[in-house]
């Protein structure tokens, strides 16, 4: 339903989807012996303290780092930025990972915790495509946040939807 909603909202196709559960997330970060991100401000969350600047994260720390949003001055947008940081750092680590000894652990974690419609061949092609590892674009809808019946909604204008849809269509060469 999420894919259909995004496709309809932005008038673009979503060909591939990857989802990972929280255990898989922490296990993959730990399988590459952790990651490093640059934190833009200090905060505490989930029993961990995250100082401003370069921060090394274990799997559990990375999960807490990406989950915090209420203390972030940017709210959900700030959380999205941190999620992207973690994904980029993980991708950097996995392709540079010096030890083959943990490859079985990585494959087992993926098998048990990740769902995707990508084939193994598709995944290999993505990792082999150099620019995909070094350039991740984020397209964020701008709008006004509001709560209704305890649920947060982002109200986005038709103009903003069209602007982002056109950017994505251009990027996708549609």
Q: Is residue 28 part of a domain?
A: yes
Q: Where are the beta strands (DSSP E) in the chain?
A: 18-20, 35-39, 43-45, 48-50, 53-57, 114-116, 144-148, 151-155
pLDDT of residue 131: 62
Q: Is residue 131 part of a domain?
A: no
pLDDT of residue 45: 95
pLDDT tens by residue, 37-62: 999 999 999 999 999 999 999 999 99
Q: Is residue 22 part of a domain?
A: yes
Report the length, in residues, of the chain. Answer: 174
Q: Is residue 89 part of a domain?
A: yes
Number of compact structural domains in the chain: 1
| CB within 8 Å of 114: residues ≥ 6 apart | 18, 19, 20, 24
Range of the domain at 60: 18-116
**Regions of the chain short of the pLDDT cut 50:** none
Q: Is residue 161 part of a domain?
A: no
**Domain of 57: which CATH number?**
3.40.630.190
Q: Is residue 7 part of a domain?
A: no
Helix, strand, coil % over all residues of the chain, rounded to 5: 50, 20, 30
Location of structure tokens 């255990």: 23
pLDDT of residue 9: 93
pLDDT of residue 75: 80
Q: Is residue 134 part of a domain?
A: no
pLDDT of residue 60: 97
Element (H, E) at 104: helix 103-113
């Amino acid at each position: 339903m999420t894919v259909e909603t995004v496709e309809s909202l932005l008038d673009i196709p979503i060909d591939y989807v990857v989802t990972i559960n929280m255990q898989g997330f922490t296990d993959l970060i730990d399988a590459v012996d952790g990651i490093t991100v640059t934190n833009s401000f200090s905060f505490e969350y989930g029993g961990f303290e995250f100082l401003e600047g370069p921060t090394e994260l274990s799997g559990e720390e990375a999960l807490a780092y990406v989950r915090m949003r209420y203390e972030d001055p940017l709210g959900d947008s700030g959380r999205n930025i941190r999620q992207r940081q973690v994904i980029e750092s993980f991708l950097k680590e996995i392709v540079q990972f010096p030890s083959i000894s943990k490859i079985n652990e990585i494959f087992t974690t993926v098998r048990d915790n990740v769902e995707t419609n990508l084939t193994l061949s598709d995944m290999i092609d993505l990792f082999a495509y150099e620019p995909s590892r070094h350039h991740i674009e984020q397209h964020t809808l701008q709008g006004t946040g509001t709560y209704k019946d305890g649920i947060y909604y982002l109200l986005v204008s038709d103009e903003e939807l069209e602007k982002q849809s056109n950017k994505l269509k251009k990027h996708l060469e549609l």
